[in-house]
Amino acid sequence: MTDAAIQNRALVNTGLAEMLKGGVIMDVVTPEQARIAEEAGAVAVMALERVPADIRAQGGVARMSDPDLIDGIIKAVSIPVMAKARIGHFVEAQVLEALGVDYIDESEVLSPADYVNHIDKTAFRVPFVCGATNLGEALRRITEGASMIRSKGEAGTGDVSEAMRHLRTILGEIRALGAKSDDELFVAAKELAAPYELVRRVAKEGKLPVVLFVAGGVATPADAAMMMQLGADGVFVGSGIFKSGNPAERAKAIVEATTHYDDAARIAEVSRGLGEAMVGINVADVPAPHRLAERGW
């Protein structure tokens, strides 16, 4: 693949994320769950072996999923299929590209393979989504070739507070950049540890150059709608659906609430009778070494 051919992927790869806007991307571990997600109106599914709540509970090294599982999920649905590679594990990413997934999530939910470098995503034809806790991190991932950003939140907790913090941080830092004069943007770029040209573009346009979803802790329709009201382009729901009492109904309700995020009566309606939400863990009770959001830099 020539550089030119990869360059030309930028628009189709950021474009696919644009098409997912206003939608919900759901973690699934079986083809059956993938079909439930598609029937509920998910815009894409994330194929993985264990949802983050189980990774957290069971511990050990979390890696890319078995190709058979990913193939099974690709065959089960007609919506895009994403899959996770470990941070810095470029061969897992090569394998996922060879399997024909539609998007790779270089994810802190899995155990990092490299504590210094992220994957050089510009070397791939398949698009990547990456997590970020702040604007500098988001811009570094975009520089490395990410076509989509998601705020990290704290996966597998069902506690929306970290998702809230990361989304507010990213959007707040974008707003702050917009208030700076041209000659202050050089230092802003230094402080964000991100390329000046990209920082200037964000300051001028008032938004990231790629789609910004939210992830990590969304468990209810109201959680999803709150993220949309704050300015997220869409929502990832991990453990929140299939770790709840009634996954099919909860999935539909979260999809509805994400679209009709500014219609409180509608959100009330879809929130009725969903059964138990995932039990959840308060992020404050998770010891710092076990916080996934601190992986990646």
Active site residues: 84
181 binds another protein per the rule CB under 8 A:
no
Print the binding letters for residues 80-99 with another protein: x by CB under 8 A, - otherwise: xx---------------x--
125 binds another protein per the rule CB under 8 A:
yes
Tokens of 274: 């969903």
Paired with 235 in beta bridges are 24, 214
Tokens of 217: 């802790």
Q: What's the residue count for the chain? A: 297
CA atoms within a 13 Å half-sphere pointing along the CA-CB vector of 83: 30
Which of 26, 29, 42, 235 forms a contact with another protein (CB under 8 A)? Answer: 42
Tokens of 20: 């997912």
78 binds another protein per the rule CB under 8 A:
yes
b/e 271-280 (16+ beta carbons within 10 angstroms → b): beebeebbeb
Least Cβ distance, residue 144 to another protein (angstroms): 19
Least Cβ distance, residue 294 to another protein (angstroms): 30
Which of 26, 28, 29, 43 forms a contact with another protein (CB under 8 A)? Answer: 43
Burial of 37 (0-12, 13-18, 19+ CB in 10 A): buried
4 vs 179 by CB, closer to another protein? 4
Least Cβ distance, residue 199 to another protein (angstroms): 22
Instruction: Check: CB of residue 159 under 8 Å from CB of residue 283.
Output: yes
Size of the site for another protein (CB under 8 A): 39
Considering only residues 231 to 250 of the shown chain, the ones binding another protein according to CB under 8 A are none
Considering only residues 11 to 40 of the shown chain, the ones binding another protein according to CB under 8 A are 11-13, 15-16, 18-23, 38-40
CA distances from 193 to 76, 115, 136, 167, 199 (A): 42, 17, 6, 19, 10
Least Cβ distance, residue 126 to another protein (angstroms): 6
28 vs 189 by CB, closer to another protein? 28
Nearest Cα neighbor of 122 from 212, 201, 4 is 4
Tokens of 93: 């990413």
Least Cβ distance, residue 1 to another protein (angstroms): 11
- State the DSSP H helix or E strand holding residue 129, giving kind and residue range, or none if neither: strand 128-132
Binding site for another protein (CB under 8 A): 8-9, 11-13, 15-16, 18-23, 38-44, 74, 77-81, 97, 100-103, 125-127, 252, 255-256, 259-260
